[in-house]
Amino acid sequence: MRNPARTTVWSRRLALGAILSLLSAAVIGIGPAYAATPFDTLLGAWSGSGQIRYEDQASESIRCSAYYSGGGTKLRLAIRCKSTSTEIEIRGVLSQQGSRVTGTWEERTFNASGEASGSISASRINLSISGGGFSGSMAVSYGGARQTVTISTQGIKMRSVHITLGKS
């Protein structure tokens, strides 16, 4: 005949063991996994420096901060840079579908906005940007806690921006 007290203790130990196993699996990443997307790699605050070049070939050093939010297949970006004579404010909303990216892009100081489209991989986003009398490209290369942003434009006073950012 079974001892009810012993059976209850044994059942509690099994239940506790199962709960601890599930918690351990969650902590070390075993079990139901969340597949990180390339956008997820960029999420958060970044800061760094670089160069801006104008249509007259003059260039200046800039200090920048960037913030990316969203995640998964959506990314909102805000990049702000300052030099001694100007400020740049770039904003965008991007959507990913497979290796394709589409969305909107704007630079507020030089009053440029338009549509963005391009490609994405595990370590790079390449965009073509056009609208309102200007065109350009934006490339974001990233890995670990570093990223490089390169923007080239035609049709506005700003010709290019090149910045290197680190995770803040």
Q: Do 52 and 96 fall into the same domain?
A: yes
Q: Do 43 and 25 fall into the same domain?
A: no
Domain count, the chain: 2
pLDDT along the chain (168 residues), means of 10: 53 44 39 71 96 95 97 96 94 96 94 95 95 92 95 94 96
113: number of Cβ within 10 Å: 17
Q: Which CATH number do you get for residue 87?
A: 2.40.128.20
Q: Do 59 and 28 fall into the same domain?
A: no
> What pLDDT score does 147 carry?
96
Structural domain for 117, as ranges: 38-167
Q: Do 83 and 7 fall into the same domain?
A: no
> What pLDDT score does 164 carry?
98
> What pLDDT score does 8 carry?
53
Rg for the chain, CA atoms, rounded: 24
> What pLDDT score does 25 carry?
36
Q: Do 109 and 58 fall into the same domain?
A: yes
3-state secondary structure of 145: coil
Nearest to 148 by CA among 44, 71, 42, 43: 42
Report the length, in residues, of the chain: 168
Q: Do 71 and 154 fall into the same domain?
A: yes
Q: pTM of the predicted model, to two decimals?
A: 0.77
> What pLDDT score does 31 carry?
44
Residue 86, φ and ψ in degrees, nearest 5: -150, 165
Q: Do 65 and 2 fall into the same domain?
A: no
Nearest to 80 by CA among 5, 1, 163: 163
